[in-house]
Amino acid sequence: MVLGSGGVTGVAWETGVLAALSAGGIGLDRAALLVGTSAGAVVGAQLAAGEPIERLFERQLTPPDGELPARIGPAVLLRWGWALARHRDPVRARARIGRYALAARTVDESVRRAVIAGRLPVDRWPAGPALRVTAVDAESGRFVVFGADSGVSLVDAVAASCAVPMVWPAMSVRGRRFVDGGVRSAANADLADGHDPVLVVAPLGIGLAAQVRRLRRSARVVALRPDRAARAAIGRNVLDPARRAAAARAGWAQGVAARAEVAAIWGGRSG
């Protein structure tokens, strides 16, 4: 299962989709691998820890206490675009975005880390299924994948994966600073290569289509992205906690509509 980036509303929409699939008999616990990027790192960690998806969905419908409102402004988007357009080498482009992130004024790392810790039911890597959390080294631009064997705490890994450049602080992990795994790809679905079937739940689509095409050469794949109603519910600011409940409900509706398509490749509950 691949869970992509998408901010606070992405967490809510993904949770709604998965809760509806589960309620329809789709066995989320059948996943042997969970790949999480940014918002998906949060949801993936929650699922891997055994948090009931129904409870996670209900939580998305409550007031978003503890969440920090933010916005990805035009200046931020312009600098991201400039970095990507200037360098044909994606690693160098990511390093430039990382340098922008390191120079930006944001909240303190400890404040942001506390927000992420508040989203997770545990502070240690769950025993299973295998969870992979993506991030990008802010100085080198190198793409990294954290797992239980990485020597990095779960909270640090997820906080790094959620560090939207120039919006949230680049996060310190074992002497290095890291930014959002979505800088490389919205979902990093290629990490599911070799697995079959693959369910991709991706609030954003940057780099996704090509990765899904490659996966389909050897695997059955269903890729879900927000439909028109969900995009309207999410709005223009994916970091707005006030849109969380609406995004979750839209995800639920979309998950209900996708049950047959997902069941065709995924099957029902295990056990």
Cite the active site residues: 38, 180
DSSP character for 173? E
Contact residues for 75 (Cβ-Cβ < 8 A; gap 6+): none
Is residue 15 left, alpha or beta, with left meaning phi > 0 and alpha meaning psi from -120 to 50?
alpha
What is the spatial distance between Cα 106 and Cα 101, in angstroms, rounded to a whole number? 9
Which stretch of DSSP H or E encloses residue 216?
none
Measure Cα distances from 116 to 29, 32, 129, 157, 223 in Å. 23, 24, 21, 10, 26
Q: How far is CA 255 from the centre of its chain?
A: 17
Q: What are phi and psi of 57, to 5 degrees?
A: -65, -45
